[in-house]
Amino acid sequence: MTQAPSPQGLQLSPIVAGAWRMADWGLDAGQRLRWIEQALDLGITSFDHADIYGDYAVEALFGEALAAQPALRARLQLVTKCGIKLVSARRPGHAIKSYDSSRAHVQASVEASLRALRTDHIDLLLIHRPDALMDPDELADTFQGLRAAGKVLHFGVSNHSPSQLALLNRRLPLATNQIELSPLHLDALSDGTLDQCLDLGLRPMIWSPLAGGRLFTADDAQAQRVRAVLEALGRAHGVSAATVAYAWILRHPSRPLPITGSQRREALQEAVAALSLRLSAEDWYRVWEASAGQPVP
C-alpha cells in the first residue's frame, strides 16, 4: 500500500486507522499494541486521534501501547486534533463545552498530546471544529511556531466549511480537511467541501465512512435502500458490502482517505480491500440514487 502525499509533503496511508473508540474496546496494553501491529501489517500506517477521545484518555492508551515497541514510531504517522473543550474531571478548568483555537490552548493541547502519545512530534494536527472566535493570523502564527519547534510537522482542519478553511489556508497552507462522508451522508458532495479539496489539491480525510455502523444496523428507508445496493454490488464484485462502501468513497476524484473505527482485523481488511475495487460511474450513482431516494436531477 503506497502512501498518499499532500501538496505539503505529508505522507498518509490511503486507509487510516481511527482510535476514537479505543477506550471502549477493553484491551490491555499488549492487545492495543497488537492492534497497532496488525494495522501496520495491512499497510495502514496512519492513526487518527483527538485529545478529547475517550474523555481525554485514548491518546494515553495508545501511547502506553506504543511505548512497549518504540521502534514502531518510525513506521507510523500520528494524527490528532484539538480545539474542543469538554467538561471533564481530566480538564477541571473547563466550565462549559466550548471551542478554543487560541495560541495558549493550542500550545497546551499539543504539549498534552505529545506527553500522552509518548512522542516528540505529531505528524498532523487538526483544529477539530470551527471556532467562531478564531483569529486566523494568530492561529497561523501558532502553527508556524509549533512547526519551527519540530513539535508538529503538518496542519489541517476538521469539519470546516470551504470559507472557514480558506480563511486559514490563505495564511498557512493546510494539508487536509477531515470531514464526514458516507453513502448515508452526502452533504460534502454538494456543499463545496470536496470541490475545494479538488481545487486546492488537498486529500480529505473521511470520518464515519460507514455512517457509524448505521449502514448495516439502521432500519429507516434510506439505510435499507443503500444497504440493498451495496449488498448487490458486493455480490457482483465478490466483496463485502462494507468494502463497496469504502470503494464508493475512494471513487471520488479528490482521493479521500477513509478512517476506519474498528478494533477488528476483518474490518480493517474490508477497508484495505476497497483499494483494489474501482466502481464504475454508474455503480457509484446507483449508491447515490439509493441514498438520495431519487434519480439525479
Task: Say how many domains are in the chain.
Answer: 2
Place of cell 452533504: 187
Distance of CA 190 to the CA centre of its chain: 20
DSSP state of 91: B
Amino acid (1-letter code) at residue 263: Q
Distance CA 241, CA 252 (A): 18
Say if 182 falls within a structural domain.
no
Residues 112 and 252 in one domain: no
Say if 288 falls within a structural domain.
yes
- pLDDT digits (tens), the chain, 297 positions: 655 555 568 999 999 999 999 999 999 999 999 999 999 999 999 999 999 999 999 999 999 999 999 999 999 999 999 999 999 999 999 999 999 999 999 999 999 999 999 999 999 999 999 999 999 999 999 999 999 999 999 999 999 999 999 999 999 999 999 999 999 999 999 999 999 999 999 999 999 999 999 999 999 999 999 999 999 999 999 999 999 999 999 999 999 999 999 999 999 999 999 999 999 999 999 999 999 999 999
pTM, entire model = 0.96
Catalytic residues: 53
Contact present, 176 and 127 (Cβ < 8 Å): no
Q: Which domain holds residue 129?
A: 11-175
Last residue of a domain, one of 156, 175, 194: 175
3-class DSSP state of 137: helix
Strand partners, 11: 5
